[in-house]
A and B are shown apart, each in its own frame.
Chain A
């Protein structure tokens, strides 16, 4: 038994969720042949034929890619454009022309010339600041590798032809490789290279098979037919697992499958408690592209549309038309379901590079969100006008972040009215007939909720900041991270107060912080009377599922015990003891 290989654990970047166990199949896409290129000189009379050898390698590489593009199934077409770009790159002057020049001028073989050209292009890209553009070097490398394989006569491993149920192990998979993966043949895949934003990662998610990327040395550690476990959620792989690890993961896999099948089946059904109370489960989004996720996961609308992205990584402020067209897209796509647009919440942790005022010592308590907007009416009015115009196209609500006092709400609403008047004067189509709300995330806003309620249609509890400000902990400071407790008795009492005020005053309440997307918080939230929760889209099915196993009546009764607890630890323990079976196992299998 001594030659039994020992278990090795590697940690990489989670590509796509799920767990699979199977035999490794190494695909040498970045073959040694490409890495180690020999240099030799070409006699003058043979230069022409060396150049033609390169040209025909490019031609066949290009034909090969064309074939791949044509064979891509329809549901992956949105990724084809990157391959079309690869196709154009084959004849790019910087690659094709320069390689031919190098062959001729330096009288060297085509492989060496190509390698030299690519090294130069790489160095040109290395200094580019924009991470997206810098990342495009991988596209150029994929193209040149494909040419190189044809020059060297090494054949591309045809991933489409693998006929065993295996786990692919590769140095890197190009988008072309990934799109050829045949789902019924491959259990999962892992790569040395690649990060969260690589095209490979994006395609992996659409394929819905487990994958771990960026493992760095997977191809050097793993041998063909090694048994491996891929844990796509944690971004971990285990090579030559022990009996114990195998058992653990087999169980986890079963639970995961059962759980996934379960929630997928029901994610479109309403989130109704066992005693018939229907909750609104909404999604938080940042980019218009995330709407499809909210819909796919069965969300009831968008409870928080963060609008900062259009203001970040650029040199100036966006104009009204730009904002309007983005908002309109979101509003139209989610209609008739509602979308709550939060006005600009910047500075603090996401300062705008081009308009950076003096560095603040304490940005979380500084000139941010509504304070920043009220200070800069030009920027604020532009956004308000764009929102009122987009509101014509669906069900729009607007809310102001970081409200700490009465005057801020008054002023903000004043600007909204002014924006509406100016649009009327300009004869631009818009509507002022929308719900207006405020974020409840500063303790002072909780305490004067009764005053604020008279001015607005709804409250949105932003738990991330509310916890941070109430418990006086810097979210970014690791030293005090342990104090960040959503179920702290103070936080529970504040939420309770906000809900009580809103029911007396007849305003709606929704919760849109992280707290809303964690199943173990649900008994408390239901017990307090929350009936609308907004969260990151992937949490929607999980939360809907958990809601269906709880009852409001039980949760209300449970609240008496919760309110008797003197610490967050006590509350957590109580939840675990009372609802453990119902909520914890779900969460464990999801983790």
Chain B
């Protein structure tokens, strides 16, 4: 298991397009990828789950991978969030 914290900088938070990009990238992992916000933990490969978290701007989320072999995916996810999904 391995985790990284990252802050959401987009104006609308984790909005539809951002959630879609996250989910697509997370789907590349061989094992589980999770997004944790406080006491809630959802599957990072589900757009609907991510939207359901309703993370606003400024929220610090934890990205978690079940297996270290998925570290490249984790790094990519962190980069995407930090870059504000290229907006």
Q: How large is the interface on B (under 10, 10 to 19, 20 to 34, 35 or more residues)?
A: 20 to 34
Taking a contact as CB atoms under 8 Å apart, the answer to whether B15 and A132 are in contact is: yes
In A539-580, the 8 Å CB interface with B consists of: none
Contacting residue for A88 out of B9, B47, B49, CB 8 A: B47
Taking a contact as CB atoms under 8 Å apart, the answer to whether A130 and B56 are in contact is: yes
A92 to B20, CA, bound (A): 10
CB-nearest residue of chain B relative to A88?
A: B20
For B58, list chain A residues within 8 Å (CB). Answer: 314-316
Given A88-B24, A94-B49, A95-B48, A82:B54 Cβ within 8 A = no
Taking a contact as CB atoms under 8 Å apart, the answer to whether A132 and B47 are in contact is: no
For A130, list chain B residues within 8 Å (CB). Answer: 13, 54, 56
Given A130-B56, A315-B58, A316-B58, A89:B47 Cβ within 8 A = yes
For A316, list chain B residues within 8 Å (CB). Answer: 58
Answer whether residue B64 sits at the interface, using C-beta atoms and an 8 A cutoff: no
Answer whether residue A133 sits at the interface, using C-beta atoms and an 8 A cutoff: yes
In A85-104, the 8 Å CB interface with B consists of: 85, 88-89, 92-95
Q: How large is the interface on A (under 10, 10 to 19, 20 to 34, 35 or more residues)?
A: 20 to 34
Taking a contact as CB atoms under 8 Å apart, the answer to whether A133 and B54 are in contact is: yes
Taking a contact as CB atoms under 8 Å apart, the answer to whether B52 and A124 are in contact is: yes
Given A94-B49, A132-B15, A133-B51, A88:B56 Cβ within 8 A = no
A125 to B45, CA, bound (A): 18
Taking a contact as CB atoms under 8 Å apart, the answer to whether A85 and B20 are in contact is: yes
A133 to B58, CA, bound (A): 15
Taking a contact as CB atoms under 8 Å apart, the answer to whether B46 and A81 are in contact is: no
A81 to B47, CA, bound (A): 14
A316 to B60, CA, bound (A): 12
A146 to B13, CA, bound (A): 27
The distance from the CB of A118 to the nearest CB of chain B, in whole angstroms, is 10
For B54, list chain A residues within 8 Å (CB). Answer: 128-130, 133-134
In B53-85, the 8 Å CB interface with A consists of: 54, 56-59
For B16, list chain A residues within 8 Å (CB). Answer: 82, 85, 136, 139
Contacting residue for B13 out of A92, A133, A139, CB 8 A: A133
For B9, list chain A residues within 8 Å (CB). Answer: 322
Contacting residue for B48 out of A132, A140, A322, CB 8 A: A140
A59 to B46, CA, bound (A): 18
A390 to B71, CA, bound (A): 38
A residues near B (Cβ < 8 Å) are 81-82, 84-85, 88-89, 92-95, 121, 124-125, 128-130, 132-134, 136, 139-140, 313-316, 322
- Could you jot down 9 A-B contacts, CB within 8 Å? A89-B47, A93-B48, A95-B48, A125-B52, A128-B52, A132-B13, A133-B54, A140-B48, A314-B56
